[in-house]
Structure 1
Amino acid sequence: MEPLLSVIVPVYNAQKYLLACYNSLKQQTYPNLEFIFVDDGSTDASFKLLCDLKKRDSRVKVISQTNQGQVLARKAGLAAACGDYIAFMDNDDTLPADAYQLLVENAKASQAEISMGSYYQLLDQKILKTFIQGLGFVSGQAKAADKHDFEIKSAYEVLSNLNNNQAQARYSGLLWDKIYRKEVIREAFLQVDTRLRIGDDMVCLFEALLNATTVAVSTVPVYYYAATPTAYSRTRHTLKKSYAKLMYQNLLACLKLHQLQNDVILLKQVRLWTIRNLLYFEYDKLSTLEGIFPFDGVKAGERILLYGAGILGQAIWRIYAKPNKYHLVGLVDKKADAYSGDVKPLAFIKDVSFDKCLVCLFTQQYYPKIKKDLLKLGVSEAKICFIDYQMLLKVDLVQLFKKID
């Protein structure tokens, strides 16, 4: 019999998405699966729906707990898992039918403790980008190699190439595009701080890779990641404390546990991931860095137009929209209709007066195309700004976190 694979799905107010999520699990070609749904205190009909699924499918297990967050939900799922391998899934995402067949076959063929695949990022059910493991994001639907083609990498090689100086991930820092030997991931979760609400995937994966020796890497997409504003993993939290700081401390603790606290390459990875989380979720805390943030070279009182409604753009808008020394006049995006709230289409640029247009990205490779588009719309080159990610690499995180305690 094929090894049992346990798929753990934390659920929070997901009744709108649950059937699609379950159906993509039900349609998997891999024959030996169990599905563990952990309802984390949902206030909608999610738990009732899960109970109905359990009655219809003997592979479904349902766990209910008060709302305690994703880390404890996943831990509860792990405690109940009987599988030789473990996988994770978000409650609003879906899978190609052969996803787990591919990942298990690659794990078995290479005797890897971790088997990873690539993934699609969806926006309004359409493929926006493809993340290719070992390469990073490419626009649209990428042509994958044959499903039987995969590389065998050392865990250290993957760990030391999770990122590069341009903040373009080479391998993803996520849990859900991979499967794990149960003993490796259970050991990893012992090191994840249950207080974490942001960055827990990174800490867990970091520790799992430190526990592992071999990783099977496939360029074939095995996951459809839906960029929906109400997703469990994108739920907004009131940041009463710095989760970036907590993540940073957790990652350093992982290195110390494995006596790698002086490994220059891995310390760089810790810095890069911490800075990414600060940019994504705690942008306001970087305002303590005079001359760098929030807008390098922008004078107080100038009118700022934000371009890009991703997590970073929306964070800047949310934090600095209130009256202060910077006057934000709008947030625009070429896919404005995919976002709710205050996001305007690009045509808004011609209707508003501004002194600077800040491109809200921190992946340099997309900037030239965006800049070209802005110039075509009549924006003066002198008005176009871009976050200089390289400047962040010089930030003293220890001193920064002392300031924001």
Structure 2
Amino acid sequence: MKPKISIIVPVYNIEQYLRKCLDSILAQTFTDFEVIIVNDGSTDSSGDICDEYAELDNRVRVIHTYNGGLSSARNVGLKLSRGDFVGFIDGDDWVFKDMYQTLYELCNQTNSDISICTMYREIEGEIVYVDRDNYIKEMDNVEAMRQLFKGNLYRFAVWNKLYTKKCFEHVQFPEGRIHEDLFTTYKVFAKADKVVFTNYAGYIYVKRDSSILTTNYNEKRLDAFLGWNEIISFMNKNYSQLAEYYLSCFAYWVVDNVYYITSQVQKSKDRKKFLSTIQNHVENHYKHIIKSANLDIKYKTHIGLLKYDINLLLLSINFNKILNKRFKQ
């Protein structure tokens, strides 16, 4: 019988986290699901653990593939999924036992194509809890897209959401790139007639020092700006009324990356090379970004310096660092 939900779990060399993840899925109060574990060429014992769980529960299917990366593993899972709904959990994270019950009921009760919850972070084995008042927000397509780029309720991560299968028709994750959620989530939201959000926290994001986005800045992270080129082109064509929001979101992303580069990249040659790449992407959208009412003067100043003079930008950032140190003393 076809399950209601397909839960896709990509796995690569996460043996110390994997059991907790899979145990949390199998303990769900909502039981009508399949788990598709895609072992992405692990070289540790992760593959054996996956097979162990397939023997333990007939809702678990395991696919062993070569190491094609996170996007490839998710695409394999999507292709094999049979559920009416699709969810994603990274194999080093875990979920509270009522997460899928909550998300599934929200979709059904509000006739929504996507339901979203919030998450807590786990750092060094401790969950960082945040007090929140109960809150549910129902949104049409445009409002859901606006909130995606506004970023206060939810962001691009695919794993704290439940989607009707139709949202992924003709949509795949970009293989060979990182920041895969950035490249994908807006396309999925574009296919949703209605979206519902709850500030119930069901997903636990485990912060690992060795994850791709917590290691020192490298050239691969500039993939994000290829994604932003696609996003802005798509949004200009289909959601131009939201320009204030997606261009501001892009500007925040630019400035964040500038700070990562100046604080994490040691070689001056590499710093200027990476900043020059971002400068080229900013050039195409500068005149619209600088007019944005959503951006404060600090961000506009950094964007302006980046566009016109990288050396002056670096001088300004270093000067601010010196001032901040003196004020802290």
| TM interval, short-chain normalised | 0.7 to 0.9
Q: What's the counterpart of residue 222 of structure 1?
A: 202
Say which of 238, 249, 252 aligns to 1:260.
238
Q: What's the counterpart of residue 56 of structure 2?
A: 56
Say which of 158, 161, 179 aligns to 1:178.
161
Q: What's the counterpart of residue 271 of structure 1?
A: 247
Aligned length: 283
Q: What's the counterpart of residue 204 of structure 1?
A: 184
Structure 2 counterpart of 1:141, one-letter code = V
TM-score (norm. length: structure 2) = 0.76
Q: CA deviation at 1:246?
A: 1.3
Q: Can you list the C-alpha shifts for 1:73-126, whole angstroms capped at 9, x where unaligned?
A: 111000010110000111111111100000000000111000111111221232
Structure 2 counterpart of 1:120, one-letter code = Y
Higher relative contact order (CA 8 A, sep 6+): 2
Structure 1: how far apart are the matches of 2:34 and 2:57?
A: 10
Spell out the pairing of 1:5-404 with structure 2 (5 A cutoff): 5-128=5-128, 140-145=129-134, 150-164=136-150, 169-189=152-172, 192-198=173-179, 200-231=180-211, 238-239=218-219, 242-255=222-235, 259-260=237-238, 263-265=240-242, 267-279=243-255, 282-283=257-258, 312=260, 316-320=262-266, 322=267, 388-392=298-302
Structure 2: how far apart are the matches of 1:236 and 1:18?
A: 25
1:196–1:247 contact (8 Å) kept in structure 2: no
Structure 1 counterpart of 2:163, one-letter code = Y
Q: Can you list the C-alpha shifts for 1:192-248, whole angstroms capped at 9, x where unaligned?
A: 4323212x2123110111111101111111101111123477577852583022111
The gaps in structure 2 that reach 5 residues or longer are 272-296, 311-329
Structure 2: how far apart are the matches of 1:28 and 1:395?
A: 51
Q: CA deviation at 1:394?
A: 5.5
Structure 2 counterpart of 1:75, one-letter code = N
Q: Secondary structure at the match of 1:39?
A: strand
2:2–2:82 contact (8 Å) kept in structure 1: no
Query: Could you tell me the percent identity over the aligned residues?
Result: 24
Structure 2 counterpart of 1:54, one-letter code = A
The gaps in structure 1 that reach 5 residues or longer are 129-139, 284-293, 295-311, 327-386, 401-405
- Could you say which structure has the higher helix fraction? 2
1:275–1:392 contact (8 Å) kept in structure 2: no
Label 1:144 to 1:38 Cα distance change in 2 as closer, same or farther (>3 A). farther
2:2–2:83 contact (8 Å) kept in structure 1: no
Q: Secondary structure at the match of 2:176?
A: coil
Structure 1: how far apart are the matches of 2:195 and 2:114?
A: 5
Q: What's the counterpart of residue 289 of structure 2?
A: none
Structure 2 counterpart of 1:50, one-letter code = C
